[in-house]
Copies of this chain bind each other. A is one copy, B any other.
Amino acid sequence: MERIYIQEVATRDGFQIEDQFVPTDEKVKLINKLSSTGVDKIEVTSFVSPKAVPNLRDAEEVMRRIDRQRGVTYTTLIPNIKGAERALECKADEVNLVASVSETHNRKNVRKTTDESFENFKDISSYLSGTNVQMNGTLATTFGCPFEGTIDEERVLSLIEQYLTLGVSGITLADTTGMATPKQVYHLCEKVRNRWPRLPITLHFHNTRGMGLANVMEGIRAGVDRFDASLGGLGGCPFAPGATGNICTEDLVHMLAFMDYDMRVDLDELIETSKYLESILNHEVPGQVMKAGKISDLYPVS
């Protein structure tokens, strides 16, 4: 059985763009439930400015109050050295750095050129060196930019190289606004895997145009074994017009479980947790398995 690692991002990528602030108590409860489903990593929150992302203004409190389970990596997104300080203080296991492959998207997202972002990451890297906090390097708009369109694969490879120089322990290739096609995913992932065969690569897909799970399958075919996903399919990106949710965690786990991939995630508990999430939010979430049930849920013949 092939091992696949499931990484949950709903409380960061999802909550940041909700219309309403999710109360801290609910966030903590949800993350604790997620921890016990067996997912490998949880992107708990984001240490950004509370003005920029008011929904995550309780980042410290959430990080401090959650129960940590052995084997789960608790990561947080950070945009700068201030974020790194906050993450270190809260004992995050990992910080997630984000730069866009597209200059235009990077400027829109963090008001910096990509070079400025990587200068910034150097300071973060120095600051965290010698601590227990790992760094993950995310490349947003890896498969396409809603402003610039097509992305040059060579630029993706060169930015991975820059991240590796900084000492990141893994790379996330993010399809920020759901522009990746299955063929493209296979092609790029094969290239990256050939160049860095032992580098842990995460694929972060959005299901904006329905291709999310098809892209996962092509990522797996190319040898990628780590996937970000969002409970209930929550998510999007405030700086990318038209973007809708991330791929849905329980739909992903459901698909892979029925193909006998080894995830060590409790699918039933995940579905229950997604229903709990929906009850917190007071609106429907895009996840489909939580509505239709698992393929093994049979109906009485009567």
Interface residues of A (CB under 8 A from B): 104, 108, 144, 146-149, 178-179, 181-184, 207-214, 216-218, 241-244, 248, 251, 254-255, 258-259, 288-289, 291-301
Contacts and interface: CB of A to CB of B under 8 A. Distances in A.
Given A181-B259, A182-B259, A148 B298 contact: yes
B214 A288 contact: no
Nearest to A287: B210
Given A182-B259, A217-B218, A255-B182, A288 B207 contact: yes
Contacts of A301: 104, 108, 147
Copies, count: 2
A297 B147 CA distance: 9
Name the residue among A147, A209, A213, A248 with the largest chain B CB count within 10 angstroms.
A209
Contacts of A295: 144, 178-179, 181, 209
8 contacts: A146-B299, A147-B299, A178-B292, A178-B295, A209-B288, A210-B288, A242-B299, A244-B292
B251 A210 contact: yes
Contacts of A248: 210
A203 to B, nearest CB: 14
Contact of A210 (B183, B213, B242, B294): B213
